[in-house]
Amino acid sequence: MPALLLGSISTIADTSELQRAAFNDAFAAHGLDWRWEQDEYRALLESNGGADRVASYARERGETVDASAVHATKSELFQQALGRGGLTARPGVLDAVRATKEAGDPVALVTTTSPENVVALVAGVDGLELADFDLVVDSSVVETSKPDPAPYQHALRTLGVDAADAVAVEDNVGGVASATAAGVRVLAFPNTNTAGHDFGDAPVVDSLDPAALQA
């Protein structure tokens, strides 16, 4: 089995709609007359970085906001939602993690979200523990965001794995670009709000079949 590099928390459990709700609640908390409906949010997800997304949206509207503060509130609300638990792993994820570990190969989470989001997500998913990951790369480990290849390059170096001996699973275009730039084969595993995006040459899957990881 190749090393399994899961590229975001939404490749583990589909949290996209929870995140959209948290953004909208954060906007209200900061007195902003904004609301991201699903179609608009889907378009916004073609770029990476929550705080950057807020700042860009404000510029387009000719408004000045503290994007970092808004995003911090969003993150707090999102973590509260995750903390309520009851999240279900996406199809095939637990099987893929289990098969990779049974083969003696590493499993890593290679994300640019916060460590708090990672902990809350894993705690909320039945059948998953942080100990299942040989490595977690988050925003406290690598500051450079995707689509830069830095998060994947760090993971490969730390695990001592060649890019040719790994497979990445990503749910967004920026993540696919990051893994590809690092020389890692990547499977696109879209979430609810990225299903219509153009993932280029990356194979698109709707379930993580352990056999597909070896293709």
Domain ranges of the chain: 3-14+87-213, 16-83
Helix (H) or strand (E) holding 102: helix 93-102
What is the CATH class of 16-83? mainly alpha
Q: What pTM value is reported for the model?
A: 0.92
- Tens of pLDDT along the chain (215 residues) come to 999 999 999 999 999 999 999 999 999 999 999 999 999 999 988 876 788 899 999 999 999 999 999 999 999 999 999 988 889 999 999 999 999 999 999 999 999 899 999 999 999 999 999 999 999 999 999 989 899 999 999 999 999 999 999 999 999 999 999 999 999 999 999 999 999 899 999 999 999 999 889 86
Identify the pLDDT of residue 32.
Answer: 97
Q: What would the DSSP string read from start to end of 135-174?
A: EEE-TTT--SPTTSSHHHHHHHHHHT--GGGEEEEESSHH
Identify the pLDDT of residue 90.
Answer: 97
Identify the pLDDT of residue 48.
Answer: 66
Superfamily grouping for domain 3-14+87-213: HAD superfamily/HAD-like (3.40.50.1000)
Identify the pLDDT of residue 12.
Answer: 98
C-alpha–C-alpha distance, residues 130 and 137, integer Å? 12
Q: Report phi then psi at 98, rounded to 5.
A: -65, -45
Identify the pLDDT of residue 102.
Answer: 96
Strand duo 135-137 + 166-170: pairing: unpaired
Identify the pLDDT of residue 177.
Answer: 97
Identify the pLDDT of residue 84.
Answer: 87
Geometric angle at alpha carbon 19, from 13 and 25, rounded to 5°: 150
Identify the pLDDT of residue 19.
Answer: 94
